[in-house]
């Protein structure tokens, strides 16, 4: 009876924690039961996992492929290390070693393990292991694997590791690659790409130092926490409908719990694990979570889990700003000024990942733009809505100084790197598989900034409501189904219209730039017709006469970039009259001739709809130069130079102080 009560109690507990709600889900594919013990001296997790895999693909799978992500830190020959700085000592290294892989009947598969090195890839990489099976797993069949492993976490870098007494364990256990109808889909761990995995449930028991009791952040929820022998605490966590499991602990965490109940949306327990020196940021973290859950719940779908955990890592821990299902890390600093928008912006960005990375779970190794790009755009919108337009922050001698007189509108202000990439590098289109991109900069700009600018441009061109409606439908339709770029474009075309879809495709398929320029804006008095005019007997000669009062104006707009975008061209005439023409932007150039008042200026895209335009200055041209702006800057520069010269005199030669 007691056992039954305990079982019922535990089920009820799980019921409040999970499963995900509101959104129809797919049945679990890859579920894990893990027990692991942390060794603080060696920085290792030694454990055993039972993997339950249900083959829901249409093909037989003769083997399994396991990600051993921590082997990216095993030595400097790994594929991952090509994107890392040189190691600074033994703490920089980590590993994930398979001690034993077996079937429940005791069949030992350990000797069969080989390391997967896709053709042309790095033969020294050990981040992908293939385990042939005695017999294939047929569609619909279940495979259970027992895996003993030992993982060593490196000094915090690339989303995982430790710093002092803070530990963030991400990608720490042997994990199945994604099963697809084309077989296992897994890539060696690459510095600029992230992850792709099947949904399932996780039941994880951790043996941790007793001092971290109550200070363990997990994917899902802690369902049991009990003292164990030898000054240890046994922490049991459970999560369902997730595709990864991460945890973090530190004896110095300050834990704050808040229940958020946005109007018309499900209640969510928000847990914040904060560094003591980041207390000033606490309310900004919580406000971003509170208002972000409401906003994204309306813009997308209701948040599908009953718990959300935010881990605030110490500066320099390498764990900053990373998302996992139901858990993410923020990033802030002791003196982080509110005017800079942080940690609000990063919190909203990582929170938005709960939908795109956590719930939709597209392939981040190949199509990172589907996650990072959509998240960058929608979180920029949310940040502006909740916190306003942030100011840039410069740091001098460890003190962040907000430049309050300047504003950094989102997403434009933080995405100029994408335009630099489009103007100067042009190495990769967004749709190139992420891991094939030239370098980290190409991945970062394409997946994040370029896609954010592209979506903002589409919102301004085709309307933001249709775009929101399309993204909402995309989230609803493909929740827990690992959508692809094709799925997104399909919904976009269906809901927001073919123009929106076409524009996104143009922005994603080209590595080049958008650049419209007004290359000619001229105006002269219109001369009456001269020469032989009229037909047949009415033909008459008219001598050239003095110009009339009206003006004949010519405006030429050229498309200098590869990407075509529909634009307006606004012509401004003397007396304040304006004429606006719309152009589909496809041809190399377009000319307009207008007779009327004297033309003053012409501007292409005056409402700034195409944010992918790499040169905003050449978007307009005057018929007569106006030195006002340059004069104002000349004046400012002279005063600046006078003061800098005086500073030189102080520092270099004369006494007095200005520092």
Partner 1 sequence: MKVKGNALPFLWVRGLVAAAATWKALLLALALNAALALVVTAPLASRLHDLLDDRPTADGLAKGWDVVLGAHLLRSEPGLLGDRARLGEIEQGTLPLAEWPRLSGPLAGLLAAGFLHAALSALLAGGFAGRFAAERERGSLAAFFSDVVRLGLPSLFIGLVGLAAILGAFLLFVELPREATLSPDLRWDWERTGLSLLRLFAFLGAAGAIRAVVAQSRAALGLAKTANPVLALASGVGFVLGRPVKALFLEAAFGVTALFPLALWLVFAPSWSGGDWRLLALLVSGQQAVVLLRLFARTAHLGAAMAWMRGAREASRPAPAKIEA
Residues 114-143 that bind partner 1 (CB under 8 A): none
Interacting residues of 318 by C-beta distance below 8 A, sequence separation 6+? 155, 156, 157, 158, 159, 160, 161, 163, 168
Within residues 383-402, the interface with partner 1 by CB under 8 A covers: 392, 394, 396-399
Separation in Å, CA 651 to CA 395, 396, 397, 559, 654 = 22, 18, 19, 50, 7
Q: Is 333 in the site for partner 1 (CB under 8 A)?
A: yes
Q: Is 527 in the site for partner 1 (CB under 8 A)?
A: no
Q: Least distance to partner 1 from the beta carbon of 37, Å?
A: 25
Tokens (6 digits) for 310:
């935010």
Within residues 434-463, the interface with partner 1 by CB under 8 A covers: none
Q: Is 646 in the site for partner 1 (CB under 8 A)?
A: yes
Cβ closest to partner 1, residue 204 vs residue 599:
599
Cβ closest to partner 1, residue 230 vs residue 617:
617
Q: Find the helix packing angle between 464-478 and 451-462, rounded to 10°.
A: 120
Asked if 383 and 352 count as a contact pair (C-beta separation under 8 A), the reply is no
Q: Is 321 in the site for partner 1 (CB under 8 A)?
A: no
Instruction: Point out which span in 100-108, 133-141, 144-152, 403-411 binds partner 1 (CB under 8 A).
Output: 403-411
Q: Is 334 in the site for partner 1 (CB under 8 A)?
A: yes
Q: Rounded to whole angstroms, how far apart are CA atoms 287 and 291?
A: 6
Tokens (6 digits) for 69:
């992500």
Which of 100, 119, 118, 117 has its CA nearest to residue 109?
100
Eight-class DSSP state of 27: P
Q: Is 520 in the site for partner 1 (CB under 8 A)?
A: no
Which of 346, 340, 333, 337 has its CA nearest to residue 278?
333
Q: Rounded to whole angstroms, how far apart are CA atoms 237 and 304?
A: 18
Among 412, 433, 487, 499, binds partner 1 (CB under 8 A): 412
Asked if 100 and 148 count as a contact pair (C-beta separation under 8 A), the reply is yes
Instruction: Point out which span in 181-189, 265-273, 459-467, 622-630 binds partner 1 (CB under 8 A).
Output: 622-630
Tokens (6 digits) for 371:
């996650």
520 φ/ψ angles, rounded to the nearest 5 degrees? -150, 130
Q: Least distance to partner 1 from the beta carbon of 312, Å?
A: 11
CA-CA-CA-CA torsion sign (281, 282, 285, 290): negative
Q: Is 614 in the site for partner 1 (CB under 8 A)?
A: yes
Cβ closest to partner 1, residue 93 vs residue 334:
334
Q: Is 408 in the site for partner 1 (CB under 8 A)?
A: yes
User: CA-based Rg of the chain, rounded to a whole angstrom?
Assistant: 30
Size of the site for partner 1 (CB under 8 A): 75
Give strand pairing partners of 591: 556
Within residues 163-182, the interface with partner 1 by CB under 8 A covers: 163-164
Asked if 542 and 595 count as a contact pair (C-beta separation under 8 A), the reply is no
Instruction: Point out which span in 254-262, 368-376, 561-569, 620-628 binds partner 1 (CB under 8 A).
Output: 620-628
Among 122, 180, 416, 425, binds partner 1 (CB under 8 A): 416
Q: Is 641 in the site for partner 1 (CB under 8 A)?
A: yes
Within residues 558-577, the interface with partner 1 by CB under 8 A covers: 572
Within residues 255-314, the interface with partner 1 by CB under 8 A covers: 277-278, 314
Q: Within 13 A of 58's CA, how many CA atoms are on the CB side?
A: 2
CB-based burial of residue 91 (10 Å sphere; 0-12 exposed, 13-18 middle, 19+ buried)?
middle
Cβ closest to partner 1, residue 533 vs residue 641:
641
Q: Is 425 in the site for partner 1 (CB under 8 A)?
A: no
Q: Is 541 in the site for partner 1 (CB under 8 A)?
A: no
Q: Is 532 in the site for partner 1 (CB under 8 A)?
A: no
Q: Least distance to partner 1 from the beta carbon of 151, Å?
A: 22
Instruction: Point out which span in 95-103, 330-338, 453-461, 589-597 binds partner 1 (CB under 8 A).
Output: 330-338
Instruction: Point out which span in 5-13, 173-181, 327-335, 436-444 binds partner 1 (CB under 8 A).
Output: 327-335
| Residue in the structure block whose two tokens are 């100011």 | 391
Q: Is 423 in the site for partner 1 (CB under 8 A)?
A: yes
Q: Which element (helix H / strand E) includes 212?
A: none
Q: Is 601 in the site for partner 1 (CB under 8 A)?
A: yes
């Amino acid at each position: 009876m007691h056992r039954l009560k305990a079982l019922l109690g535990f089920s009820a507990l799980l019921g409040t924690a999970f499963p995900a709600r509101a959104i129809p889900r797919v049945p679990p594919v890859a579920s894990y039961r893990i027990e692991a013990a942390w060794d603080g001296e060696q920085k290792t997790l030694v454990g055993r996992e039972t993997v339950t895999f249900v083959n829901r693909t249409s093909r037989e799978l003769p083997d399994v492929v396991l990600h051993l992500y921590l082997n990216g830190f095993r030595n400097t020959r790994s594929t991952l290390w090509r994107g890392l700085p040189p190691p600074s000592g033994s703490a920089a290294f980590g590993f994930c070693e398979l001690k034993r892989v077996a079937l429940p009947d005791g069949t030992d598969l350990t000797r069969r393990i080989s390391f997967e090195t896709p053709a042309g890839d790095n033969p020294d990489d050990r981040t992908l292991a293939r385990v042939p099976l005695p017999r294939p797993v047929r569609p619909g069949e279940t495979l259970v694997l027992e895996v003993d492993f030992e993982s060593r976490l490196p000094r915090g870098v690339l989303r995982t590791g430790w710093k002092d007494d803070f530990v963030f364990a991400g990608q720490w256990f042997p994990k199945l690659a994604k099963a697809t109808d084309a077989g296992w889909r897994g890539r060696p761990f690459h510095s600029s790409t992230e992850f792709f995995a099947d949904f399932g449930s996780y039941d994880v028991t951790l043996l941790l130092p007793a001092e971290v009791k109550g200070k363990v952040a997990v994917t899902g929820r802690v369902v049991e926490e009990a003292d164990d022998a030898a000054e240890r605490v046994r922490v049991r966590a459970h999560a369902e409908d997730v595709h990864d499991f991460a945890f973090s602990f530190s004896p110095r965490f300050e834990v704050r719990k808040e229940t958020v109940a946005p109007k018309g949306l499900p209640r969510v327990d928000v847990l914040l694990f904060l560094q003591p020196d980041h207390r000033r940021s606490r309310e900004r973290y919580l406000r971003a979570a509170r208002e972000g859950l409401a906003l994204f719940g309306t813009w997308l779908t209701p948040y599908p889990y009953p718990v959300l955990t935010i881990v605030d890592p110490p500066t320099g821990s390498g764990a900053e700003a990373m998302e996992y299902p139901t858990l993410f890390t923020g990033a802030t600093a002791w003196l982080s000024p509110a005017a800079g928008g942080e940690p609000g912006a990063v919190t909203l960005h990582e929170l938005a990942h709960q939908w795109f990375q956590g719930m939709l779970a597209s392939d981040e190794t190949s199509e990172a733009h589907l996650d990072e790009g959509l998240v960058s755009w929608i979180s920029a919108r949310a940040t502006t809505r909740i916190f306003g337009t942030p100011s840039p922050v410069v740091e001098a001698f460890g003190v962040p100084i907000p430049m309050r007189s300047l504003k950094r509108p989102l997403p434009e202000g933080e995405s100029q790197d994408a335009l630099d990439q489009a103007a100067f590098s042009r190495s990769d289109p967004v749709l190139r598989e992420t891991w094939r991109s030239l370098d980290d900069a190409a991945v970062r700009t394409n997946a994040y900034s370029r896609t954010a600018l592209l979506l903002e441009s589409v919102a301004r061109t085709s309307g933001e409501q249709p775009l929101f409606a399309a993204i909402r439908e995309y989230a609803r339709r493909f929740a827990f189904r690992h959508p692809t770029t094709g799925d997104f474009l399909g919904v976009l075309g269906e809901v927001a219209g073919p123009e929106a879809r076409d524009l996104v495709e143009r922005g994603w398929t080209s590595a080049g730039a958008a650049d419209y320029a007004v290359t000619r804006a001229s105006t002269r008095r219109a001369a009456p017709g001269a020469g032989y005019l009229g037909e047949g007997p009415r033909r008459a000669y008219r001598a050239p006469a003095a110009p009339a009062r009206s003006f004949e104006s010519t405006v030429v707009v050229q498309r200098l970039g590869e990407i075509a975008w529909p634009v307006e061209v606004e012509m401004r005439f003397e007396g304040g009259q304006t004429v606006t023409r719309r152009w589909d932007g496809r041809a190399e150039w377009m000319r307009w001739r207008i007779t009327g008042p004297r033309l003053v200026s012409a501007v292409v895209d005056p409402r700034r709809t195409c944010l992918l335009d790499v040169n905003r200055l050449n978007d307009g041209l005057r018929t007569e130069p106006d030195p006002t702006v340059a004069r104002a800057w000349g004046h400012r520069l002279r005063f600046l130079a006078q003061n800098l010269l005086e500073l030189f005199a102080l520092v270099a030669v004369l006494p007095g102080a200005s520092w």
